[in-house]
Structures are given as structure tokens and as C-alpha cells.
Structure 1
Amino acid sequence: MDITQFHAAFFEESREGLDAMESGLLGLEHGSNADTINVIFRAAHSIKGGAATFGFGRVTDLTHLLETLLDEARAGTRTLDGNAIGVLLQAVDVLRGLLAAYEDGGDIEQSIDTAALAQARAGLEQMLSGTAAAASTDVATVAPTGGDGWRIDFRPHPSMFMSGNDPLRILRELQSHGAFDATCRDDRLPPFAELDPFEAHLAWDLMLPGSVPRGAIDEAFAWVEDQCELSVEALAPPVRAVDTPAAPAAAVADETAGAPARRASDAETSIRVAVAKVDALINLVGELVITQAMLRQQSETLDPAANEHLLAGLGQLERNTRDLQEAVMSVRMLPVEFAFSRFPRMVRDLATRLDKKVRLKTQGEATELDKGVIEKIVDPLVHLMRNAIDHGLESPAERIAAGKDETGTISMSAAHQGGHIIIEVGDDGKGLDRERILRKAAERGLPLPAEPTDAQVWDLVFHPGFSTADALTDLSGRGVGMDVVKSNIIALGGQVEIRSAKGVGTTVSIRLPLTLAILDGMSVAVGDEVFILPLSMVVESLQPGPGEIKTIANDTRVLRVRDDYLPLLNLREQYRLPHPDDGEAAANAATGAAARPPIAVVVESDGRKLALEVDELLGQQQVVVKNLETNYRRIPGVSGATILGDGRVALIVDAGGLALPAAA
């Protein structure tokens, strides 16, 4: 069998395992937890087993050291303090590099960082050689051995082979620990004519000497705990020290029960599918939606009585299509936690490097984003996080002098708002220095209005290379990388803004428009054109009465809505559509027909309300959003486009991007 076909799955699962190890190790800094240690151990064990199968010796050797240390922590004979966690995290980093080198192929000796590998091995070996916590001498310890021996009843489930596991490998691993006796049971073996070679039919009674640690037995069966019937029994009670108190019953039970059963394997609950296949499926469903909309539009001219069954079928098709849209779109959606999860480690390392105390608070991790958006937003978030810790937060001494907690707080949040995704990174540091930024801008000759607003001043930090830091390092200064942040966000069709108060802190807000999504929208007509307003931003629609529309300075129009005045924007003028010809107006005047009164749709974007003047409300519908930038270019006030049932293209209005009058 060519096992290279399984490499891709191994590398992806190993990366997930390393993420779990890193997250668990960071969690241990806030207190030891047996379940967390078990999770870390399982991840290391899985990576080691897979690496051994594929012959990735460097990975196998390093994870063996990791596994040994973690097994001691599981047994309670080693305490993982801050220094130990640092060594383990370093090993995790090296493992990432090793896996990347094996995945790339080529000469492994030239691809790996041998110095980092040697340093990681040395740190782990030093811990193993002399820093294990000694067991207390005034209380008894339960030796993880089987006294006179171990009796093991091992009966694989018939489906074990289908998961890639082989009982023979397990038996060989047990045999490597010492004298070994195995009796095969074939009571479930079917007649030869009914034999299925892809099913496991045999079972074994196994005997091992008591000198074999229970942990070694658990390790051998770790991958198949939920794929077999397994019983491990000590032939005699573990030997205790004379005249020492007995260990609690719970502790003894825990030693003999083994590791807790892990959840069903990912292979049984999910499958891995190439992103390209998912994208192709999404595009096909989008075309199906358009076709279904065309059929619905054509069916509106049919006689309901004569075509009752056809119309009922089309109605069912519409419901099924909508369900299919939502199901397929959810396939690419991932919680933003996939992006946020990498930052606890980054915060820890930067805080240690800069000698600062930092706590990280996250909110909205369950907010779902398209996988492509998550991948592209990570780099901007990294820049923002680095700058917040380095330049935003003060040193512990400076914070105490300012009457603050010596530990600074970095916050990350994500939320859906007005049909957009808002991600914010904030700190409770010293904030931006307005006067200092203005001086630097004057030195560089950057253009500014006579009396710039705070927002205009903060926007200066996005100029390439702009920084107020006296000495630049690879981290210092808000300006380092901020131009990259803005360009990446703009490339996604988004916006970025800064809010800051001196002595209070700074928040950077990223606003991302819809890219590929299914959108519930309100279709409106402006002249001969149709526009889509996302329902999530529509507040209400109304027909203005006499005197409710007023013109103020600079020809700015406002609409009175109850006790509030809102800016009133004419979409015809916003999108530069042709005005009704004079002939139509003259005809109306000649016949005495009144001009059709305008309709106003009140929308809310970024916490600000405005009214949009349209000619007609057409109704609500679900549309497939197409990214306009991919097929054309970015247009202010437009977040995307869609194809209507009659084949026409309709633009999706981005209320936050519309040009508001200065007086509004």
C-alpha cells in the first residue's frame, strides 16, 4: 500500500494537535488540570504514532520526549511550572517546523532548523534527567504496576481495520515491554464462505508482567479505546510501603481504570474536503438560486387555477433551494476562534519579551466568518496585536504611577453588525498622542485641514512608515505595519478606523463587507434600475408627508422622522443615474397628473441612521452575493452585486460607504 496518500490528513491533524497542545499549555499557566494534561498528552501521542508510521524519525524522537514528560505530569510525579511550560512550548514550535519540512519534501537535513531542534531536545532531556518532582515521603504512592502481572482482554470491533488501526501493531508494542503471553480467541470467526477480510474477527487474552507500567498499556491501546472491548486487570494489588496510610479509593480506581475514553474520532463525525470542491459547490448552488428565481418570475403570469400543481411544486422548490443555500454556505463558515486562538501564545511571548504584564480578553469567538476571510484577516490582526502590546500598553511601573492596574488588558471582539462583520482590537494603554502625531505629520509634510478632527489625525498613522516612536525596532511604533493593515483590509473591500483617548486606550475597528454570502434583502427601484438593501440594515420605510423634507445649508436635505432629522440621500444622484426626461414631466403637467411621491427607506449603518430616497419598493427576496471587485473594481457605496430572476444585475447598497453631506 502506498501510505503517502495519507500524508495530507496526517499533517493537517498534526497541526490541529499542536494547536491543542499550545492552547492547553497556556491554560496550565493559570492552574493545573488533569483533563487539560490528558488532552496535551493525547495530542503528542497521536503525532508520535503517525510520525512513526510514516517514518518521520525527527518528529517521533522529539514527541517521545514530550510524551514522557507529559506522562509523568499525568501520573502526578511532575509539576509543570512556568519554566517547564516554556520548554514544552518551545518544543511545540520546533515540531511545527519539522512537520512543515517533512510536508515540503526534499532534503530534510537542509530544511530543518537543527539549532532549534537541538535546543528543544536539550531542554526536554534536562527536565527528564533531574527536575521531576519527588513523591512526598509522608504519604503513600500507588505504583503504576500490576503487582504479579496484568491480564488483558482485547476484543476489537469488526470495523477496526476501516479506521487504519491494526491489532498486530498493538501486540508488537506490548511485546516490546517484556515477557508476553497471548492466546487468540476465534469464537467470532465466521465460515470461510461468509468471511469478510475487511472486518476484524479475532480476540486475544494477553498476559504481561507486573513490572510493565500501566501507562505503557494505556499508551498501546490509546488509539483504539473506542474501537474495541478492553479490560485490563491487575492480578494482585499494587505493593504499598509498610506502615503507610492507604491511598484514597478514588485514586486507586483511577489508576486501574485507565485514561478516560476520548470522544468519537473525527473520522466518524466529519470528513475532510478540499476547499476548491466546496467553492465549486457553492457556485453551483448560486446558479441554482438564480435559475429558481427566473422560474418563479416566469410563473407569475400563469393561471393559478390551471397550474395549481406546477405552482405548488415551484413553491416547494423555492423552499428546498433556500434550505440548500443555507446548508452549503455554512460549510465554508468557521468560528472566528480559528483566528483568535493563535493570539494567547503571541501575547504571552511578547509580554515576556517586553517585560510587561498583559491579559487577553476575547469576545464573540463563536461569530462565524467565511474561511477565506479568516485566512486573510490574520495578518492585519497580528500587526494590531503587536503594536497594542508594544506601543499601546505602558510598563508595569508606568501603569502603577498612572493609577492603573499593573497588568494591561488587550481585548479582541467580533460581531455581525448591519450586514457587516466588525472585528475590534483594543487596549487600555496610554492612547495616541494627538500633538505628537501632528508634529510628525508636519515634519513629513503630510497634508491636513486647518482644524483636523481626531479621526483625521488618527488616520495619519496609516501612512507608509509613519511612526511616533523615537527608536524603531521590529515591534515599536503604531506606524510599523499599519499601512499594511489598511491595504489588506481595503483589499477585502473593508474599512478600518481608530478610536483613541489619551491615558485611556486605543481601539482599532475593522469593518468587513459581505463577500460570498446568501443575503436577505429588500429590492427597490430607482428609475429603470433595481438595487438590493440588506434587510439587516433596514429600519423602516415610509412616504414623506408635506413639510417633512427640508433643505438646510449647502443644499443638504433632511427628513423628519418623528422627533429626529435624518440625512436624506437620493439614490438616483448617488449612483449618477439619468433623471426622468423633460417630456415625461411635461406630459404630467399637461394632463394634471401629479408626480409620483418619493419613498424613503430608513437604514442604519455603524450606529448612524440615514434615509434613502427611492422610486418604488419591489419586495423582499434572498439573493446570491457576488464580489464586485473580483469581476470589476471597488465602487463606493456598493458592497456587492447579484443576478435577478430576469437575468439583470442588481447592485447591493453599502449604506456606510455612501457619501454623506458635510452638514449632515
Structure 2
Amino acid sequence: MTREEQAEIRFAFTLETAENLAEMEAALLALEHRPEIGDDLNALFRAVHTIKGSASIVGAEAVELFCHDTEHLLSRLREQELPLTRDLVALLLQCHDHIRALVSLFEADTPTVPPTHAQLLSRIASWLTLPAHDPADLQARETLTPPATDAVAESSTDRRIVKIESGKLDQLINLVVELVTASSELESHVKRTGDPAATESAAAVSLLVKQVQERAMVFRMVPVGDLFRRFQRMLHDLSAETGKQLRLRTAGVDTELDKVLAEKIREPLLHLVRNAADHGIESPAARTAAGKPPFGTISLNAWQEAGSIVIEIADDGQGINRENVLQRGLERGLIRPGDIAGLDPLSLIFEPGFSTLEQATKLSGRGVGMDVVKQIVEGLRGKLELESLEGRGTTVRIRLPLSLALIDGFMVAVGDSLFIMPMELVDETLDLSPADQQRLASRGYHDLRGAALPCLDLRDALQISVPAPASRFAVVARTGTKRTALVVDRLEGALKAVIKPLGTAYRDVRIISGATILGDGSIALILDIPELLKTA
């Protein structure tokens, strides 16, 4: 067998084992909340047994032998010969981590084992040497009890899946995106020739390319629940480390987002969840004194809204003391006393170097993080919102585009410049007569079906000095619950645009979120409508 074939076998084993390890971890965390001999323990046993069998087939001897001992321990637990204690669940979680490490070493073709290998085998052996107990006695000695509220549910839906390396999928998506641009250019050139047959063929090819693009983009969408589940284990470990009782509640786990977005948003979410655990949730004694349950809840929720995905991180902790934030901002020179009027103190939290903790902890407090979170989110064309009620908790919302590669847009023109608005924000379009334009200029709003509609002239907002035509148009855009009419010179129609990021020289131009190359080679800029209205 060649080295390339061996590498492929190791990779396939790692890919398959990752799913079983995820099932193993989910079952262990569920057992901590539901300490009973049943489906969770069976799922745990099944996952370890499957990993052992696969390791035997591919020759991963260290993985096979370690899983064999772990399986023996689970067998005694399933036969109720051992007590299901917190210490045993903690040991099995360490076994899960160790199996993951052994698999990684096997994939890298490294013959060594981690330093903890012998120690874990010794601890497993000590449990295996315990005498069997009577089931009634085990029930009396049970140390794990179910929680009073909300346990995290795991989906057990079986899916028919064809596995493919993510890098190959990314290559396919990138080629499809470029194909959309090339097809648009071809269709534009053929139309200029005036050949009806060629124009019809080019239109058919363009339609097929767009259908391929729509199908291909679906391949890269992943449920946000896969991202959320990673934090269940983290909160379990933080509970043991901090002495706080932390619970995770999730919702909207079937909401899908681009895989690239999911990978890039993981670190910001990790920091926000850690912040909630460290800054937000109080100690059990403090929560009880405040009339709260001793356990603190951190909630992760996701939903789609107006062509965007919203991810919400909320906690029911102590909230943010605005006066404390303001004082720290003054002490650190982030603001001057004269700037306090009209300032929302919460905005200071995203300034570099800001922290309210007197001493840094293992989790946070060194003034590094929230500014980076904001920078990453905005780099993904997203928005960050922060709300907090003192004594009640804090909520952070991240709004992201559904895809980083394509946008359904509506193109308009102002003078010779072309601009694209996200289609999901466009409600309707209006024809503006010269009389309408005169009334707009004098009073600043348009009378639309008996209601006053605020208007913004893009010519003024973008400082375009080309003379305006006699007849113009308005595009009614909706942001949240508000509607605003954006006055433009021409309506160019709907299109699918391939988003090209702006260079670093334009990163401070906040009202433009990107650009696209049209079929004739011209460039259209993509407007960030919420930021444009906020700036105006």
C-alpha cells in the first residue's frame, strides 16, 4: 500500500471517528443531567464500540486498545455493577478527549501516545477492580440528580450523507461563483451582437449556471446547532473550574448559515460565552441572595431575519453597571468628561483595552477581546448589538449575511455610478415626477398613500455632483420597522451579484460593504443601507 493510500485511510478513519466522538460527548453530557441507565448510556457504548471496531480495521492499535478498556468500563456501568457518579462521568469525558488525541496522532502517523495515556489506563483499571454492587445499593448511592429545568436535547435524526472534504467543496463553490460572473459577461457580449439564436442560447446557459449556483450554495450551508453544541462541553468544564452552576439553553438550532461564516464566527462566540460565564453569571450564593435560582443560564439562539442570520447570546446574570463602565472609560482615557453627554456607556465596552475587572482571571479581564469580536463581525459585513439590564442579564446579538459570496440585489444608478441594495430590504419602487421632487426638496418627505415617508437623496448622501434628470425614482427600503425612500436617477433591476471585498484602503468607508463586477466589466458598489441611514 502506498503512502498516499495510507494517508487516505487515516483521513477517512478520522472523519468517521469525529462523528462518533461527537455522539460520545453528547451522551456523556446528557448523562450528567439524566443519570439513568437508558438511551444515553446505550448511545455512549455504541459510539465507543464503533470507534474500537474502525480502529481495528485500519490498524490504529493504540485507539483500539484504549477503547477496549473504556468499553469494558461501560459494560460494567450498563450492567449496574458500578455507580454512575460525577467522578466517573468526569473520567469518561477525559477518556473522550484522550481518544480524540490518539486519533489525531494516528492521522499524523505519529507512533507516540500522550503523557496521560498510562495515567488514564490506571484510573480505568482502578474502577474495573471495584467489587460489583447491588442495584438497590447503587440507587441509594447515586450522586448525580436530574436538573429541575431545561436539559439540552440532541437530535437523533439519521441522515443520508455523502462525505466530502471541505476544501474540495470550497474549491467547487469558488469555481461556481466565478462561473456566474463569466456567464453574465458572456450574455452581455452576445446581446450586443444582435444574433437572436446566440442570445437565446446564452440566456439558457445563464439560467442553468444560476441554478447550479443556487444548488451549490446549499451544499455549504450548515445548521447552527453544530456550532452551538461545542459550547455545552465548554460550560461543563467552566462550571468545574469556577464553582459556578452554568446551564446552556439553545434554540433555533436548525437555522442554517454558510460554513465559512460558521468557522469565522466560532471564536467571537467563544469569547462572548466565556464573558457571560465570567462577567455575567454570579456565584450560586450571590444568585440565591438576589432571589435567583443558584444555576445561571446562558442562552444561544439563532434565526433568519430579512436576508440575514441573527445569533443571540444572552445570560440571566448581574448585567452591566453603566456607571462603572463610564468611570473606567474616563480612567483609561477612552473618553473625556466633556464627551459624556449623550454617550451610551455600553459602546465603550468595544474599545481596545477596556475591562471592568480589577484583576485578570483565567477566562477574561485583560482588556483583549470585545474589540476583536467587533472587528471580526464587521469584517464579515455583520453588525453587533449589546443590551443589558442591571441585575437581569446581558444580551449580545450578531447580525450576519447569509452568504459571503453572493447577494440578491436591486441595482440603481445615480449619475454614471451604479449601486446595489440588498433585495431583502427593498419594499417597493416609486416614480417621482418633477412636482414630487419639488415637494421633497421643500419638506423632506413623500406623501405615500396618506402617510409621510422620510426620504434620502442618494445624490446628496454620496456627494455626487452630476446634474439630476427631470424624472427620478425612489426605492422604499425597510430596516427593522422603519421605512425610508432612497431617491435615485434610474432603476436598473434585480440581479445576483458576486461580492468582491473592498481593499484595505477602503475599510473605513462604512456605507459601502463591497463591490461586484457586472457583465460589461463595469463596477457596482454594494450599499450598506442600515449604515447609510444611520450616517445620514
| Superposed pair shares fold, TM > 0.5 | yes
Q: How far apart are residue 76 of structure 1 and its match?
A: 5.2
- Inter-partner Cα distance in structure 2 for 1:301 and 1:53: 62
Deviation string, structure 1 residues 5-62 (Cα, Å, up to 9, x no partner):
3111112222222122111111122323633333322321232233334444432232
Aligned counterpart, 2:15: 12
Deviation string, structure 1 residues 125-155 (Cα, Å, up to 9, x no partner):
2322216553569xxxxxxxxxxxxxxxxxx
Alignment of 1:51 onto 2:55: yes
Q: How far apart are residue 425 of structure 1 and its match?
A: 0.9
TM-score normalised to the size of structure 1? Answer: 0.69
Q: How far apart are residue 527 of structure 1 and its match?
A: 1.1
Alignment of 1:271 onto 2:275: no
Contact 1:517 1:625 in 2 (8 A): yes
- The number of residue pairs the alignment matches comes to 510
Aligned counterpart, 2:472: 598
Q: How far apart are residue 288 of structure 1 and its match?
A: 2.5
Superposed, 1:245-260 pairs within 5 Å as none
Report which stretch shifted further, 489-498 or 428-437: 489-498
Which of 179, 201, 206 in structure 2 is aligned with 1:288?
Answer: 179
- Inter-partner Cα distance in structure 1 for 2:304 and 2:289: 38
Superposed, 1:127-142 pairs within 5 Å as 127-130=127-130, 133-135=133-135
Deviation string, structure 1 residues 344-389 (Cα, Å, up to 9, x no partner):
1111221232222222111222222222221121111111111101
Alignment of 1:432 onto 2:306: no
Query: What letter matches 2:518 in structure 1?
Result: L
Contact 1:515 1:626 in 2 (8 A): no
Contact 1:387 1:478 in 2 (8 A): no
Evaluate the alpha carbon distance shift between residue 637 and residue 529 of structure 1 in structure 2; reply closer, same or farther with a 3 A threshold.
same
Aligned counterpart, 2:283: 395
Q: How far apart are residue 536 of structure 1 and its match?
A: 0.9
Deviation string, structure 1 residues 212-256 (Cα, Å, up to 9, x no partner):
xxxxxxxxxxxxxxxxxxxxxxxxxxxxxxxxxxxxxxxxxxxxx
Query: What letter matches 2:182 in structure 1?
Result: T
Alignment of 1:489 onto 2:381: no
Query: What letter matches 1:281 in structure 2?
Result: L
Alignment of 1:37 onto 2:72: no
Alignment RMSD? 3.2
Contact 1:367 1:415 in 2 (8 A): yes
Structure 1 runs (4+) greater than 6 angstroms displaced: none
Which of 18, 23, 38 in structure 1 is aligned with 2:26?
Answer: 23
Which of 462, 474, 477 in structure 1 is aligned with 2:362?
Answer: 474
Aligned counterpart, 2:335: 447
Contact 1:468 1:478 in 2 (8 A): no
Superposed, 1:140-289 pairs within 5 Å as 269-275=161-167, 277-289=168-180
Q: How far apart are residue 548 of structure 1 and its match?
A: 5.7
Query: What letter matches 2:528 in structure 1?
Result: D
Contact 1:567 1:660 in 2 (8 A): no
Aligned counterpart, 1:577: 464
Q: How far apart are residue 98 of structure 1 and its match?
A: 2.7
Q: How far apart are residue 546 of structure 1 and its match?
A: 6.4
Contact 2:353 2:366 in 1 (8 A): no
Q: Which has the higher contact order (CA 8 A, sep 6+)?
A: 2
- Inter-partner Cα distance in structure 1 for 2:162 and 2:341: 55
Aligned counterpart, 1:86: 90
TM-score normalised to the size of structure 2? Answer: 0.85
Q: How far apart are residue 631 of structure 1 and its match?
A: 10
- Inter-partner Cα distance in structure 2 for 1:263 and 1:608: 40
Unaligned runs of 5+ in 2: 138-155
- Inter-partner Cα distance in structure 2 for 1:487 and 1:522: 28
Evaluate the alpha carbon distance shift between residue 274 and residue 423 of structure 1 in structure 2; reply closer, same or farther with a 3 A threshold.
closer
- Inter-partner Cα distance in structure 2 for 1:342 and 1:332: 19
Evaluate the alpha carbon distance shift between residue 345 and residue 453 of structure 1 in structure 2; reply closer, same or farther with a 3 A threshold.
farther
- SS of 1:60's partner is helix
* Identical residues among aligned pairs (%): 40
